[in-house]
Amino acid sequence: MDTITEVKARVYKFGNKKADGNSEMKNLLGGKGANLAEMSAIGIPVPPGFTITTEVCTEYNSLGRENVIEAIKEEVEESIEAIEKVMGTTFGDKENPLLISVRSGARVSMPGMMDTVLNLGLNDEAVLGLVKRTNNERFAWDSYRRFIQMYGGVVLGMKPQTKEDIDPFEEIMEHLKDKRGIQLDTEFTIQDLQDLVYDFKDAVKKQTGHDFPTDPWDQLWGAVMAVFDSWNGNRAIYYRKMNGYPADWGTAVNVQAMVYGNMGLNSGTGVCFTRDAGTGENVFNGEYLIDAQGEDVVAGVRTPQQITKLGSERWAELAKIEEADRAENYPSLEELMPSIYAELNDYQQTLEDHYSDMQDMEFTIQEGKLWILQTRNGKRTGAAMVKIAIDQLKEGVIDEKEALLRIEPNKLDELLHPVFDTNALQRANVIAQGLPASPGAATGQIVFFADEADKYKNTILTRIETSPEDLEGMNIAKGILTARGGMTSHAAVVARGMGKCCVSGAGALKIDYKNRVLRVDDKEYHEGDWISLNGSTGNIIEGKVATMEPELSGEFGEIMELSNNYSTMQVRTNADSPKDAKVARSFGAQGIGLTRTEHMFFEVDRIKAMREMILADTIKGRKHALEDLLPMQRTDFEGIFEAMEGLPVTVRLLDPPLHEFVPHQLATQKELAEDMHISLSAVKNKVAELQEFNPMLGHRGCRLGNTYPEITEMQTRAIIEAALNLKEKGIIAKPEIMVPLIGTANEFIEQKQIIKETADKVFEERNDSVEYQIGTMIEIPRAALMADKIAEHADFFSFGTNDLTQMAFGYSRDDAGKFLAVYLEKGILTHDPFEVLDQEGVGQLVKMGTERGRVSKPNLKVGICGEHGGEPSSVEFCHNTNMNYVSCSPFRVPIARIAAAQAAIKSLN
Ligand code: ADP
Ligand code: MG
Ligand code: MG
């Protein structure tokens, strides 16, 4: 946009029980502005004001300050007049000045991320007018010093000079407090406040080279532009990134008449919640301060008091304060100002009823009159989210669909993993930041090698990256930390599967395996040192942090139950062990969508047989080794089938490049040579032979089974025999054999042939049979293109979107770490495509594959088993693509269930 041509309103007024806007207009007015308008319209006492739209912020970013002022000047002047009329004061007047606040407000609430200025309009003359008008000298000067402080920080850039410094204004105040021997801001005398104003202005002049602006209109424009600028401040950018909000939303600016909480003992300010944001309990609660303004409560200038009597008593109990002492020194608002409390209590109920959701509100009391300054749907923990949704459903406030839509699927994670004690976290020393790869909390001693994961009782396996060889160690460790790799790196995928805490891709870590030391900045951590990982935030913390086991509430079960009423897609799990299968089943998994057989080969006694198989030069040698593997695989399958009794279990045939299984360390190579009675050089040669330029595109997937059919034979036999063994015990197994990585129909047909022949043979031997299916993964783009031909032969398709993404983008998953971060930073990509399915591009292949497959087989069963199967937006896509199921790691099953129900509900509307 380079010219201003539209004649659309850029400014929306509110106040005096009227408003131009309403709560539906959050995109245009921001959340704060939209709700101020709505509150005003429904008769809640809100100081009058107006909102400059988010579109103006976007205009500002392209057109600059002067053009934007030009464009909105008239509307703003007219709106200021409207405020003056209601308040009976005049902006810029010396005798009876109107003071205003200038507040940011994006479409989603970003508490504390952007800036606000209070008491704007004051100068050396207006402050005297205010003194006369209010007869309250202290209040007037206190407001003036607050204004200079906030305006100086927000608009004039008065910030600490170095990271060791404190805020320049705070420093001046601290200095004065020391000199006067006082503790609190409220102890300043009028003279002190006047001195502060003088010193503050002086500091501004010294640091910026300019006088503090005295003209209220200059002040106003300065503040409006500073709010626009704060949208692109570091804090806001970081917050946006964390939550995936786009930069082009922009922020609105709210300009509003000041109401004063700092006018003495009959005034105050506070924040309150209609329900408990931590637990979800339906109790009104909050905090307040007498004789204070705005952010004093949040900033912790003084310790705030509780609003309700009940809250006060609970607080005193924690603080170990006697009831008599409490009632006298820390009265609740309920006790101190009963009628104000009653009014506030009415409004909180009105607002919660109106929005039918838990509200987080700000209020100010000016000389016995209550004003509401903000309301929004309150942020809450995962536990509170679930409880409030279920409670409100039972209260009849919302219906089942709405209750389900209230759940932010990803937040359910918090409920499932052990968590850090919140109090302990507040004291934690965060040494570095990685990706929150697998949620949870882990504390342990550092080890650098997987085979030393049991060196101490609790360990954090700290690696540059992990490999399949590390699996066992990963299983033993309490948490996994890697310097490299993204959200779909080996470490991350495996950790999520295990439900184990993992922080990955912490680039700041310098890991020195040789000296067994981890360096971060100039600090060193040695093997055996204690660290803690917060898998939900990616924080890496020095030392121990206490954890607590999560408790699954009754409401959790209820919301899960509800999801079944709506979802049309099934949710299966990816599980490689009976333990994982059971966990997933307890979370409501309706089958297994992916069992990776290779994971079973990495356990100590099996890896040997596996290696012998790989190193064998003849079919005979290979078959011999496979015979050793057969009983082990069979037992594994029996365990998994039993855990999933009656439900379908998809087993994928061997998939990874063989190279991953052979030993790369000299000692292990020697051992293997001895075991196999061959020379060390023979082992070395074989390892070298298996080396590939591009293993991901190399000898793997069905290419293994097609070149070594005896592997497919053995695995099929193990699967079918396991099912038959269970049948004898009266347990129903429903195996679905899945061929990986096909690109042509013939690759599949060949494998299907072997599977069928082997199964028939086993049936004949046992004189019994079981039902089973043979299907394939669609993970090579060509397979998606040829889906109609392939579907003629397949019982089912399962989209392997990890490989499909890798191949469609041409990004190697193991190397993408080098550029993906930069791409995300620069906005070349909006999401990591390995995390969130690229619906536009890769999604076309999925859609096409599904549609073409169903052209030749209308009832073809279609699912997804990539990491995307547990990511809510991708689950919605799968629903819209008419898939039969998604499959994801056990701990994501509840998330996928809710996401599937939400997708179904959304498509009903
Ligand atoms: P944030 O989004 O960081 O909460 P706000 O714009 O809500 O920032 O304002 C910060 C503080 O100033 C809040 O406590 C708010 O209630 C208070 N405040 C804002 N505008 C006014 C006003 N017009 N009168 C009195 N207090 C105000
Ligand atoms: Mg606020
Ligand atoms: Mg694959």
Give the ligand at the shortest distance from the Cα of 30.
Answer: 1
Is the CB of 235 within 6 Å of ligand 1? Answer: no
Name the closest-CA residue to atom 23, ligand 1.
258
Is the CB of 263 within 6 Å of ligand 1? Answer: no
Options 272, 501, 702, 865, the catalytic residue: 865
Name the closest-CA residue to atom 8, ligand 1.
116
Name the closest-CA residue to atom 27, ligand 1.
294
Query: Among 362, 365, 366, 371, which residue has the most ligand 1 atoms within 8 Å of its CB, making it the best to mutate?
Result: 362
Whole-prediction pTM value?
0.82
Residues 168 and 113 placed together within one structural domain of the fold: no
Residues 708 and 851 placed together within one structural domain of the fold: yes
Q: Is residue 359 part of a domain?
A: yes
- Which range marks the domain in which residue 99 is found? 1-123+216-258
pLDDT average, residue stretch 621-647: 95
C-alpha of residue 59 to centroid of ligand 1, in Å: 25
Q: Is residue 408 part of a domain?
A: no
Name the closest-CA residue to atom 15, ligand 1.
294
CATH of the domain at 321: 3.30.470.20
Residues 177 and 220 placed together within one structural domain of the fold: no
Distance of CA 704 to the CA centre of its chain: 39
- Return the DSSP state at 378: P
Residues 648 and 760 placed together within one structural domain of the fold: yes
Q: Which string of DSSP letters, residue by residue, matches 111-163?
A: TTTS-EEEEET--TTHHHHHHHHHT-HHHHHHHHHHHHHHHHHHTS----SST
Greater confidence, 496 or 708? 708
Residue 215's region, left for phi above 0, alpha for psi from -120 to 50, else beta, is beta
Using the 3D structure, point to which of 380, 403, 433 is the last residue of a domain.
Answer: 380
CATH of the domain at 185: 1.20.80.30
Q: Is residue 555 part of a domain?
A: no
Residues 722 and 579 placed together within one structural domain of the fold: yes
3-state helix/strand/coil string of 527-590: CCCEEEEECCCCEEEECCCCEECCCCCHHHHHHHHHHHCCCCCEEEEECCCHHHHHHHHHCCCC
Other beta carbons less than 10 A from residue 264's beta carbon: 16
Is the CB of 876 within 6 Å of ligand 1? Answer: no
Over residues 551-570, the pLDDT tens digits come to 677 999 999 999 999 999 99
Question: What's the confidence (pLDDT) of residue 547?
Answer: 78
Q: How many structural domains comprise the chain?
A: 5
pLDDT average, residue stretch 538-554: 85
Contacts for 147 with CB less than 8 Å, ≥ 6 apart = 99, 117, 118, 119, 120, 122
Question: What's the confidence (pLDDT) of residue 644?
Answer: 98
865 is catalytic: yes
Question: What's the confidence (pLDDT) of residue 2?
Answer: 42
Determine the 3-state secondary structure of 352 from DSSP.
helix
Q: Is residue 422 part of a domain?
A: yes
Give the ligand at the shortest distance from the Cα of 298.
Answer: 1
C-alpha of residue 802 to centroid of ligand 3, in Å: 6
Question: What's the confidence (pLDDT) of residue 315?
Answer: 78
C-alpha of residue 346 to centroid of ligand 1, in Å: 21
Is the CB of 256 within 6 Å of ligand 1? Answer: yes
Q: Residue 583 is encoded by which pair of tokens?
A: 């966990």
Nearest residue to 659 (alpha-carbon basis) of 622, 617, 704, 725: 704
| Ligand 1 atom at shortest distance from the alpha carbon of 109 | 2
Residues 200 and 252 placed together within one structural domain of the fold: no
Is the CB of 295 within 6 Å of ligand 1? Answer: yes
Q: Is residue 766 part of a domain?
A: yes
Q: Is residue 515 part of a domain?
A: yes
Residue 368: CA count within 13 A, CB half-sphere = 1
Confidence check: pLDDT of 577 > 70: yes
Confidence check: pLDDT of 120 > 70: yes
CA distance 734 to 87: 75
- Kindly report the average pLDDT of the chain as a whole number: 91
Other beta carbons less than 10 A from residue 350's beta carbon: 16
Residues 201 and 77 placed together within one structural domain of the fold: no
Contacts for 303 with CB less than 8 Å, ≥ 6 apart = none
β-partners of residue 737 are 651, 774
C-alpha of residue 101 to centroid of ligand 1, in Å: 7
CA distance 277 to 381: 6
Residues 718 and 770 placed together within one structural domain of the fold: yes
Measured on CA atoms in the order 373, 374, 375, 381, is the torsion positive or negative? negative
Over residues 882-909, the pLDDT tens digits come to 999 999 999 999 999 999 999 999 998 7
Q: Residue 53 is encoded by which pair of tokens?
A: 């739209």
Is the CB of 30 within 6 Å of ligand 1? Answer: no
Is the CB of 364 within 6 Å of ligand 1? Answer: yes
Over residues 767-823, the pLDDT tens digits come to 999 999 999 999 999 999 999 999 999 999 999 999 999 999 999 988 888 899 899
Is the CB of 108 within 6 Å of ligand 1? Answer: no
pLDDT range class, residue 434, cuts 50, 70, 90: confident
Query: Among 103, 239, 369, which residue has the most ligand 1 atoms within 8 Å of its CB, making it the best to mutate?
Result: 103
pLDDT range class, residue 299, cuts 50, 70, 90: low
pLDDT average, residue stretch 636-640: 96
Name the closest-CA residue to atom 13, ligand 1.
294
Over residues 317-337, the pLDDT tens digits come to 766 789 999 999 999 999 999
Q: What is the dihedral of CA 94, 185, 155, 30, to 10 degrees?
A: -90
Residues 632 and 753 placed together within one structural domain of the fold: yes
Contact 671, 682 (CB under 8 A): no
Using the 3D structure, point to which of 330, 359, 380 is the last residue of a domain.
Answer: 380
Question: What's the confidence (pLDDT) of residue 662?
Answer: 87
Options 490, 599, 793, 879, the catalytic residue: 490
Nearest residue to 108 (alpha-carbon basis) of 278, 230, 244: 244
CATH of the domain at 490: 3.50.30.10
CATH of the domain at 221: 3.30.1490.20
Residues 700 and 787 placed together within one structural domain of the fold: yes
Confidence check: pLDDT of 488 > 60: no
Question: What's the confidence (pLDDT) of residue 3?
Answer: 44
pLDDT range class, residue 4, cuts 50, 70, 90: very low
Q: Is residue 413 part of a domain?
A: no
Q: Which strand (E) or helix (H) includes residue 359?
A: strand 359-366
878 is catalytic: no
Residues 880 and 759 placed together within one structural domain of the fold: yes
pLDDT average, residue stretch 31-42: 97
Is the CB of 113 within 6 Å of ligand 1? Answer: no
CATH of the domain at 854: 3.20.20.60
pLDDT average, residue stretch 686-712: 93
| Ligand 1 atom at shortest distance from the alpha carbon of 113 | 3
Contact 633, 652 (CB under 8 A): no
Using the 3D structure, point to which of 484, 513, 548 is the last residue of a domain.
Answer: 548
Considering only 85-89, 149-153, 156-160, 722-726, which range has the smallest mean pLDDT? 156-160
Q: Is residue 412 part of a domain?
A: no
Nearest residue to 660 (alpha-carbon basis) of 723, 601, 741, 727: 601
Residues 250 and 371 placed together within one structural domain of the fold: no
CA distance 592 to 569: 14
Name the closest-CA residue to atom 6, ligand 1.
103
Is the CB of 374 within 6 Å of ligand 1? Answer: yes
